[in-house]
Amino acid sequence: MMHDRTGWQRSIALVTVLWVAAALGPAQDADPPAFAHPSQDATALATMPWSAADAPESTTYWVAMPDGVLLATEVWLPTTPEPYPTVLTRTPYSRFTPPDVTPATYVAEGYAVVSQEIRGCGESGGTWHFYADDNADGHTTIDWIAQQGWSNGKVGMIGRSGTGATQYAIARGAPAALKCLAPAHETPFRYELAWPGGALNYCLVYNWLNNQGFLNLYYELLEHRLCDSSYDGLNFADPPGEIHVPMLHMGRWYDFGQGGALGAFQLLQHQGGAGAAGNQYLWMDPLTHGHTYGQFPPPSSPIPFEQWRQQLKLDWLDYWLKDEATGVDSWPAARIYVMGAVDEPGAPGNEWLELQDWPPDAETRTLYLSQGDPPHGGGLDETLPPSESSVLLIDPLDPVPTWGGAGYCAPIGPWDQAAYPVGRPIESRADVLTFTTDVLMGPVAVIGAVTARIWIDPDTPDLDLSVRLTDVYPDGKSVLITDGIQRARMRCGCDQECFMAPGTPYEIEVDMWSTAMIFNAGHRIRVAIAGTNWERFERNDNSGGDLNNPNWTVAYPDILFGPDYPSSIELPIPFILPFWDGFESGDTSAWSTVVP
C-alpha cells in the first residue's frame, strides 16, 4: 500500500532550519513514605495516547521460549492476501494496548501486528528480572514470526517507554529477520538509568517497580549500588559491534531516557556493526515522558510533535520493511528541537535544527561561580573571582524538593524555580545557593552536554551535589532547563566508593545531562546548587555509612571559588551557529529560518 507523502514531505521541508546568526524518601528507608507517587500510574503513563479499541479482531498465541516458558502473544492480521511484513512490540504492560502502537493503524497499512507480554508480565509465564531475558526471548519471538505462514520474513519493532527498553534489549546479535528498530523514550544503559551520578533515581525506580508488582526487585537493587556483576549484560549497547540493526532513536529533552537516545545514537552510529553504523537516526523533541511541557503549553512546531513522530515511524517502517521510497535515505542523521523563551514573540529558538551528527562541534564556554551575597546573590562570569567560599546547608530530613526536570514523578519539565513550590520556592530556600550572570546583551545558544565542576571543602565523608541550570526572564521567572546530581562517594567511578576527608578540598564533577536552548537577550543564566533533589533522587544521609540504614547527618560543606578552586559550569556553544557574543553584545534581528 503506497502512501501520499506529498503533504508530509512539504511540511518537513518547511522545518529544515539554517541558523544564520546567534550568540552565544529515601531509597534506603525500609518503608518508603506514602507521599512517594508517580505522575500517573506507570501503565497509564506509557499507554496514555493510544488504544486498541478500534483494532480488528486478534488471535492469542502462547509462544514457547527455549526453557519452556510461554509468552502471551497477540496477533492482528490484515484482510489482504498474505504474506505480510510484521510490526512487533514486546511490552511489560498489557499486550492489548501496547505503548506507541495502535494495531488498527498498522494493520490498515498492510502490516501484521504482534504484541507480546514479556516474561513475568501480564499473562506470560516466568519471572521478570530487569529485562535480562529479553535479548534471548526477543530473538526466539522473531524466529517464531519468521516461520509463520502469514509472515514475509521481515520484522520491525516500535514502542516507547518499557517497549522502547525491550527494543534496545533485543538489538545485540538479533536475527536477520529484524530489519529495524524505533525505540522511544528509553535507554540501553540500565545501570546509569537506575544510578545517575551514583544516586538512586528513586522516584522512577521505586514507583515503576512497585506499580508493576516487582517491589522485591527494588530492595534487591539497593544491595547492588556499585556496577558489579549483577549488571552484566544490562548495558544493551555493549559491545556495539554486535549490533547490526538500523535504529530511529526518539528522545526528549525532559525525559528520563534522554541520555539513552543521545548516547545510543552516538555510539552505534560510529561504532556499531555492519548495518548499524551509519544507519542510526536521532529525533529529540522538547517534551516530557508524559507528553507535556512543564507548566507551559508545548512550544511551536509546524507539525504537532506527536503527530509528526507517529508519521516518521510509519515512514521508517515502510522504508525498511516494504522497500518504499519514503525519504529515509535523505533524512538528516539528527533532527533536534532547539528550545527558546516562552511567551516572547520573535525570540530565537523554538525551532527544529537538522544535523549530520550529534553532538555538534562546539566551543566550551566556562562560567565561574563567585560568592557575591549568599545564599542567593552569587555571580556567574567568565572572569575568575578572588578566593572565597559560601556554606551550603544540606539537611536530608528537610530536603529540597524536585520541581521539574527530566524525571518521572510530577511535576516534570520546565518549571519556574523562583515561584514553585508555592509558599517555599526552590530558589528562596536558605539551603539553595544561586549564581547568576549579568543581563545577556544578545542570545546565547547552548547545544550539547552541560557539566558543572564544583569545588567543596566538606565536613562529612559523603554528600550529594544537585545542580540546576535555569533561564532567568526579565520578570524574574527562573525556568529549569537541565540539571544533574553527583554522589561524592561515587565520584571515582561506578565500581568503587571513595570517601572524603573533612577539611580537604575536592572537585565534584556533575553531569547535568544535555540540552538545546537559546537564552534570549535580556535574560540571565543561573546555576543553583543544593544537596538534595527529592523525590527524583534518593537522599544521602551524608554520614559515609550504610545508605540502606541511614544515620541522618546535617552537612555544612564550603563551596569554594577562585583561582585555586575554580567552581564553574561548562556550556557547549555550537560552532554551527555563527553568533555575536551574548555575554557582551548581540543582535537578535539576524535570526531567520531559511527554506531550502
451 near 570, Cβ under 8 Å?
A: yes
208-239 in b/e form (b: 16+ CB < 10 A) is: bbbbbebeebbeebbeebbbeebbebbbbbee
At 159, list the grid cell.
514502542
SS3 449: strand
Domains of the chain and any CATH numbers = 36-189+235-331 (3.40.50.1820), 362-586 (2.60.120.260)
Phi, psi of 364 (to 5 degrees): -85, 115
Q: How far apart are CA 102 and CA 357, in angstroms?
A: 31
Rounded CA-CA distance 342/348 in Å is: 10
d(CA 395, CA 431): 8
Question: What is residue 577's predicted lDDT score, i.e. its pLDDT?
Answer: 59
Contact 149, 83 (CB under 8 A): yes
Residue 4 scores a pLDDT above 50: no
Sign of CA pseudo-dihedral 315, 16, 481, 370: positive
User: Minimum mean pLDDT among 14-23, 140-149, 333-342, 552-561: which range?
Assistant: 14-23
189-245 pLDDT, tens digit each:
999 999 999 999 999 999 999 999 999 999 999 999 999 999 999 999 999 999 999
Phi, psi of 484 (to 5 degrees): -165, 175
Residue 132 has pLDDT above 50, yes or no: yes
Q: Model confidence at 487, in pLDDT bands (50, 70, 90)?
A: very high
Model confidence, pTM: 0.90
Read off the pLDDT of each residue in 553-564 and give the average, rounded to a whole number: 98
580 pLDDT higher than 90: no
Count CB neighbours of 386 within 10 A. Answer: 9
Q: Which amino acid is at 121?
A: C
Looking at residue 413, the DSSP 8-state letter turns out to be B
Three-class SS state of 464: strand
- Phi-psi sector, 84: left (phi>0), alpha (psi -120 to 50), beta: beta
Task: Report how far residue 177's alpha carbon sits from residue 189's, in angstroms, rounded to the nearest whole number.
Answer: 25
Residue with cell 540539571: 483
Q: Which residues are CB-neighbours of 257 under 8 A, at least 6 positions away?
A: 164, 185, 186, 187, 193, 251, 289
Average pLDDT taken over every residue of the chain: 89
pLDDT tens figures, 382-413: 999 999 999 999 999 999 999 999 999 999 99
pLDDT tens per residue, range 8-26: 232 322 232 223 233 333 3
Cβ within 8 Å of residue 60, ≥6 positions away: 72, 73, 74, 75
What's the confidence (pLDDT) of residue 575? Answer: 85
pLDDT in tens, 437-459: 999 999 999 999 999 999 999 99
- Report the pLDDT averaged over residues 275-297: 98
For residue 449, give the nearest of 299, 262, 255, 270 by alpha carbon. 262
Q: Are strands 247-254 and 151-160 parallel, antiparallel or unpaired?
A: unpaired
| DSSP conformational letter for 176 | T
> Cell for 569?
559550569
Residue 121, CA distances (Å) to 40, 140, 214 in order: 19, 17, 10
Separation between Cα atoms, residue 208 and residue 215, nearest integer Å: 9
Q: What is the DSSP letter of 173?
A: T
What ranges make up the beta strands (E) of 222-290? 247-254, 280-288
Phi-psi region of 126 (alpha: psi -120 to 50; beta: other; left: phi over 0): left
Alpha carbon distances (Å) from 164 to 104, 181, 248, 263: 20, 9, 11, 15
Residue 478: beta bridge partners? 472
